[in-house]
Amino acid sequence: MGSGHGTELNLTLKVWRQKNTKASGSFETHQLTGISTDMSFLEMFDVLNEKLIHEGKEAIAFDHDCREGICGMCSMYINGRPHGPKNGVTTCQLHMRSFKNGDTIVVEPWRSAAFPVIKDLAVDRGAFDRIIASGGYVSVNTGNARDANNILIPKDAADEAFGAAACIGCGACVAACKNGSAMLFVSAKVSQLALLPQGQVERKARVLKMVAAMDEEGFGNCTNTGACEAECPKGISLENIARMNRELTSAALTYTK
Amino acid sequence: MSTGFLKTSVGKKVLMGLTGLFLVSFLVVHVSLNATIFMMDGGQTFNSGADFMAHNPVIRIVEIVLFAGLIIHILQALTLTLANKKARPVAYAKIDGAANSSWYSRSMGILGSLLLLFLVTHLSHFWIDTKIAVFKHQEHNTYLEMKEVFSHWYVVLIYLVGVIALCYHLLHGFQSAFQSLGLNHKKYTPLIKKVGVWFSIIVCLLFAAMPVCMFLNIVQ
Ligand code: SF4
Ligand code: FES
């Protein structure tokens, strides 16, 4: 573990710089001094970017939005792990107290053919949006708000669906997987709806379409290493992947259209 | 089933899992038959078992299915590995794999390739000779052949390497196959994982014991 409250760190940062999608990037080394252990990892990047701007250099592009672990935008591959050395947190929730004075930190973008680098550490995760658009929805009549508990849902199903719905679409699962597979993400989305009564109407068509969309985006194939589950900031379980395998197999066997 | 199923990433996993479990079932037969050398009857039981396997028509057909299963498992693994390489065209500069997965779960391709190399050696030691004998309607004493093959230390070493590769391949593959088939359940998955570990260890210890005991003349 790092140092205590209010301590300051001197760090060496190796950051991936890449002009655009087509350019081939390379690492750039930066020295940082007086980084407070109370800072988040992104705040440390803010400090670095301020410094670069003062020096008349171009700031490092990186994604972020909520900075409180709910939007899934912050995507940094830190010292060989998505979202850095701590389990169950996003990069914005990672703090500099997780590092030691004198550390060298290597920061890379998510690396996946399906997530092209836009610039530096920012990648295009539009592939996830297209997978969702292919089937990750339920068709319902809109109108007045329904009464709560109109449709009864068993507690365990509700809990499991809720667990799957916690996925924030960050893509750490893809980044962590040695095969670049997106199965954890897609299975979370498939499960969330397959477990609930509202999702039954499109259940079979949904899994067929979403898996087809996933395969089309060029993600790799799952070999059950479990790296995704271990690195997922929201604790999405491998059980979801098994469920998706079941759902897809039974849909392929029985769906007629 | 639509033919499209096997083209999906899920279908390919299912096929890997099914062929893998089928090969596992073969291991059970193989190790049980071979374990009869430990009956210390000069290989009598073993030879009559081997003779049955070599001549029974049902076994002959199963053998063809077995080779088909093996070839599908290998070809599918190759296609998947190539596709997975394409899914990450730029490699990470730093990877901390140990933080999120076991080394053998990440090395199934290498372990499988080692196994294939071993298998070629193994078949050329025993299977080909047995086939020739059946073809020529000759008697074949597989037990004596085993004793002869395992009298060389380097052969024993090759077999040990093969068995260790098998053990790690199974340690990941056994439970992985169930996951691929979607057979995951809060109640049963912990059991499947335990059985997988014990199966891998016991089968591989038995297989390893054969060349070692013959080399050391423990089996007479
Ligand atoms: S499954 Fe986990 S790691 Fe993957 S996108 Fe969802 S929250 Fe991120
Ligand atoms: S910035 Fe929203 S999860 Fe990190």
pLDDT in tens, B72-89: 999 999 999 999 999 999
Output A2 or B174, whichever has higher pLDDT: B174
Asked if pLDDT for residue B155 goes beyond 80, the answer is yes
Q: CB-based contact (8 Å) between A235 and chain B?
A: no
Percentage of chain B exceeding pLDDT 90 = 80
Domain interval for residue A223: 125-254
Residue in B197, B191, B208 with CA at minimum distance from that of residue B174? B197
SS3 A49: helix
- Mean pLDDT on B16-41: 95
A177 in the same domain as A109 = no
CB A215 within 8 A of CB A121: no
Among all ligands shown, which has an atom nearest to the Cα of A186?
1
Q: Is A74 in the pocket of ligand 2 (CB under 6 A)?
A: yes
Let me know if residue A2 belongs to a domain: no
pLDDT for position B3: 60
The answer to whether position B112 is within a domain reads yes
Let me know if residue A69 belongs to a domain.
Answer: yes
Domain co-membership, A12 together with A113 = yes
- Domain shared by A130 and A114, yes or no: no
pLDDT of residue A257: 78
Whether A23 and A109 share a structural domain: yes
ipTM value for the complex? 0.92
List, as ranges, residues 116-175 from A with C-beta within 8 Å of B.
none
Q: Are residues A81 and A197 in the same domain?
A: no
Whether A77 and chain B come into contact, CB under 8 Å, resolves to yes
From A43, A46, A74, the mutation candidate for ligand 2 (largest count of ligand atoms within 8 A of CB) is A74
Q: Is there an atom of ligand 2 within 6 Å of A67 CB? A: yes
> Quick check: is B96 in a domain?
no
Q: Which residue in B87, B92, B183 is closest to A108 by CB distance?
A: B92
All residues at 6 or more sequence positions from A1 whose CB lies less than 8 Å from its CB, including other chains: A97, A98
Query: Does residue B15 form part of some domain?
Result: yes
In a domain, A42, yes or no: yes
Query: What distance in angstroms lies between residue A231's CA and the mean position of ligand 1's atoms?
Result: 8
Domain assignment present for B75 = yes
Domain-terminating residue out of A119, A139, A157: A119
CA angle at A46 for the pair A41 and A50, rounded to the nearest 5°? 150
What CATH number does the domain containing A165 carry? 1.10.1060.10
Q: Does residue B44 sit within a domain? A: yes
B95: nearest CA in chain A?
A80
In a domain, B123, yes or no: yes
Candidates A77, A112, A239; nearest CB to B87 = A112
Per-residue pLDDT, A2: 47
Q: Is A234 in the pocket of ligand 2 (CB under 6 A)?
A: no
Max Cα distance, chain A (Å): 64
CA A183 to ligand 1 center in whole angstroms? 10
In a domain, A233, yes or no: yes
Question: Within 13 Å of residue B121, how many CA atoms lie on the same side as its CB?
Answer: 18
Position A3 in a domain: no
Both A150 and A84 in one domain: the answer is no
Closest Cα of chain A to B104: distance in Å?
9
Structure tokens at A140: 């319902």
Q: Take residue B165 and report the two structure tokens written for it.
A: 């590769």
Residue A44 is assigned to a structural domain of this protein: yes
Interface probe for A, chosen from B15, B95, B100 (most Cβ of A below 10 Å), is: B100
Give, in order, the Cα–Cα distances in Å from A225 to each of A99, A166, A220, B54.
27, 22, 13, 38
Residues A74 and A147 in one domain: no
Local confidence band at B2 (pLDDT 50, 70, 90 cut-offs): low
Q: What confidence tier does B138 reach under pLDDT thresholds 50, 70, 90?
A: confident
Looking at the structure, do residues A143 and A229 belong to the same domain, yes or no? yes
CA A72 to ligand 2 center in whole angstroms: 5
Pocket flag, ligand 2, residue A69 (CB < 6 Å): yes
Burial of B217 (0-12, 13-18, 19+ CB in 10 A): exposed
Residue A90: Cβ-neighbour burial (10 angstroms; 0-12, 13-18, 19+): buried
Q: Are strands A104-108 and A8-17 parallel, antiparallel or unpaired?
A: parallel
CATH number at residue A42: 3.10.20.30
Residues 84-103 of A with CB under 8 A from B: 85
Distances (CA, A) of A206 to A46, A141, A168, A233, B184: 41, 18, 20, 25, 21
Looking at the structure, do residues A148 and A89 belong to the same domain, yes or no? no
Cβ-Cβ pairs closer than 8 A, A with B, add up to 141
Asked if residue B23 lies in contact with residue B69, where contact means CB atoms within 8 angstroms, the answer is: yes
Low-confidence ranges of chain A (pLDDT < 50): 1-3
From A97, A119, A141, the end of a domain falls on A119
pLDDT of residue B1: 45
This prediction has a pTM of 0.94
Q: In angstroms, what separates the C-alpha of B89 from chain A's closest C-alpha? A: 6
Instruction: List all residues 6 or more positions away from A11 whose beta carbon is below 8 Å from its beta carbon.
Output: A31, A32, A35, A44, A99, A101, A102, A103, A104, A105
Q: Is A90 in the pocket of ligand 2 (CB under 6 A)?
A: yes
Best of A110, A125, A170 for a ligand 1 pocket test (most atoms within 8 Å of beta carbon): A170
**In terms of C-beta distances under 8 Å and separation of at least 24 residues, what long-range contacts does B92-99 make, across chains too?**
B92/A77, B92/A80, B92/A108, B92/A111, B93/A14, B93/A27, B93/A106, B93/A108, B94/A79, B94/A80, B94/A106, B94/A108, B95/A80, B96/A79, B96/A80, B96/A81, B97/A80, B97/A178, B97/A227, B99/A80, B99/A81, B99/A85, B99/A230
Query: Do both A194 and A139 map to the same domain?
Result: yes
Domain shared by A13 and A85, yes or no = yes
Domain containing B28 — which CATH number? 1.20.1300.10
B126 versus A45: which is more confidently predicted?
A45
Cβ–Cβ < 8 Å for B167, B159: no
In a domain, B132, yes or no: yes
A13 and A91 fall within a common domain: yes
How many folded domains does chain A comprise?
2
Residue B98 lies in a domain: no
Q: Please give the tally of structural domains in chain B.
A: 1
Which residues 6+ apart lie within 8 Å of A73 measured at CB?
Answer: A63, A64, A65, A66, A170
HSE, side-chain direction, 13 A CA sphere, residue B188 = 7
CB-based contacts of B27, cutoff 8 Å, min separation 6: B203
Q: H or E segment at A19? A: none
What pLDDT score was predicted for residue A3? 47
Structural domain includes residue A1: no
Q: Which domain holds residue B206?
A: 3-88+104-215
